Chains A and B, each alone.
Chain A
Amino acid sequence: GAVVSQHPSWVICKSGTSVKIECRSLDFQATTMFWYRQFPKQSLMLMATSNEGSKATYEQGVEKDKFLINHASLTLSTLTVTSAHPEDSSFYICSASGGSGTEAFFGQGTRLTVV
C-alpha cells in the first residue's frame, strides 16, 4: 500500500511556542490531505482538509490562525500549532487519499505535549 510519513512522532514543547508537524506522501501524489486530532480515549476528529496549492478548509470550531496548514506540494502538507498551550496536547494524525480505491493512508501520528 501507499506510504504516508509523518514527522515528528512525538514532541514536547513549552507553552507559547510553535510546533510544526510534517506529513509526506512517499510514493504517490496526494492532492488532498486531512488533519485529525485525537484526545486520549477518544476518536479521531477532523480538523481540516488540506488542498495542494490552495487554502485549507477548517472544520467548525478549529481556529485557522492557531492551526496553520500549508500544502505547498503534492507530497507535503504541514500543520503548525502556533502559540501552543497545554490544552493543545493531543495526538495529531494526517491522512492522504491514495490511488487504490477509497482507502485512506495514514501517517504514524504525532504526540504533542505542551508543558
Chain B
Amino acid sequence: SQQGEEDPQALSIQEGENATMNCSYKTSINNLQWYRQNSGRGLVHLILIRSNEREKHSGRLRVTLDTSKKSSSLLITASRAADTASYFCATGGEAGNTPLVFGKGTRLSVIA
C-alpha cells in the first residue's frame, strides 16, 4: 500500500527556477525521507527529517514537515537540468525490519 500522495505528479520548470514538491501521508510517523530516482535507475537518498523537526536543509534542498497536517514539502532551489528526475517521499523504516512506504512521486523536468 502507498502511504503518501505527492503533488504535483509532474512538474516542468526552467533552469534556475525553484521546484516545490509536496507529499501528504496518512498515519503518524517518526520520520519522513525523500528520495530521487533518475529514469530507470536506482534510488538516491536525499534527506531524512524527523517528526520533531520542522525544517531541514541540505545544499540546494529544503525540506519541511508539518505533522499536524501530515504533509511535507521538498524545495529545490536554483534548479539545474541535472535535477531532472522523479522524487519520492517515503515513510516507515523506523526499525531495521520495517519497509519504507513510498508516495506516488513527482516527475520533475528542468529545461535548460
Contact indicator A102/B94 (Cβ below 8 Å): yes
Q: Note all chain B residues with C-beta closer than 8 A to A91.
A: 40
Q: Note all chain A residues with C-beta closer than 8 A to B96.
A: 31-32, 97
Contact indicator B102/A97 (Cβ below 8 Å): no
Interface of A is mostly: strand
Interface of B is mostly: loop
A6 CB to closest chain B CB (Å) equals: 8
The stretch among A11-19, A38-46, A62-70, A76-84 that forms the contact with chain B is A38-46
Report, as a range, how many residues of chain A touch the other chain.
20 to 34
Known: A41-B107, A102-B31, A106-B42. A95 touches B97 (CB 8 A): no
A interface residues with partner B (beta carbon < 8 Å): 1, 6, 31-32, 34, 41-46, 49, 51, 91, 93, 95, 97, 101-109, 111
| Pairs of residues from A and B, 7 with the lowest C-beta to C-beta distance, nearest first | A97-B96, A108-B42, A32-B97, A106-B43, A34-B99, A109-B42, A44-B102
